[in-house]
Structure 1
């Protein structure tokens, strides 16, 4: 059976710390896969806020997640503080990817990528990526 392999970037533009909460644990007493996706969403919102944006107003356009891939590498437990590094890349005319490197002080927990499409929620249609996003998202350093 083939496994998902995400080619991760070497440089990131944003870093955030998010603790694993007791409500993030599953029956195995470790971070649940569904909760990791929620943590990635939180990190994405914080990334956008860093630039003064939201998912509904990102330089005048909305964002919608078109796909997600997660490579689970290790368990995380209650009390672990996840360091999540993000960077945008692979820009197209109507979208881009966000990459997430999730780790604790001692190990990589997961590698992830979300495909984000620039979207007009009023007309329910994809729209072009604003030029300013390309320059802002890739030129910042953590």
Structure 2
């Protein structure tokens, strides 16, 4: 079975440090796959906030996740502080992909813990349908 390969962007315009919580750990005493997605979600929310938006209000519309992928590279443990870099690419008429690079510092070196991607769609919750992304909105989201 071929493995997921998520490309790295040449530039991530946003980064945030997120500490690993004890509740992020699974039975193997490392961060579980669900918590990787939660960390990415936190970073995405902070990215949107830096642009003046939230997932429920992007110029009157919301965002829904159409797909998600994570390419795991290294374990994360309790006490780690994860640097999450975020960038947007692959815009379509109604959505875009959010790319994430999660790194951790160990023994004085930065190590990639995971690469992630979530496909996001602009959604009109009142009409219950996808809605187009204007060029102006695209420019504001990219910043």
Give the TM-score category using the shorter length: over 0.9
* Maintained 8 Å contact 1:64/1:116: yes
Pick the aligned partner of 1:113 from 114, 117, 121. 117
Q: Which structure 1 residue ranges, 4+ long, deviate > 6 Å from structure 2?
A: none
Q: How does 1:1-142 map to 2 (within 5 A)?
A: 1-105=1-105, 106-138=110-142, 140=143
Structure 1 residue runs of 5 or longer lacking an equivalent are none
Structure 2 residue runs of 5 or longer lacking an equivalent are none
Number of positions where the alignment pairs a residue of Structure 1 with one of Structure 2: 139
TM-score of the pair, normalised by structure 2: 0.93
RMSD: 1.0
> Does the C-alpha gap of structure 1 residues 62 and 130 become closer, same or farther in structure 2, counting only changes over 3 Å?
farther
Measured after TM superposition, the shift of residue 133 of structure 1 is 2.8
Measured after TM superposition, the shift of residue 130 of structure 1 is 3.1
TM-score of the pair, normalised by structure 1: 0.94
* Maintained 8 Å contact 1:8/1:99: yes
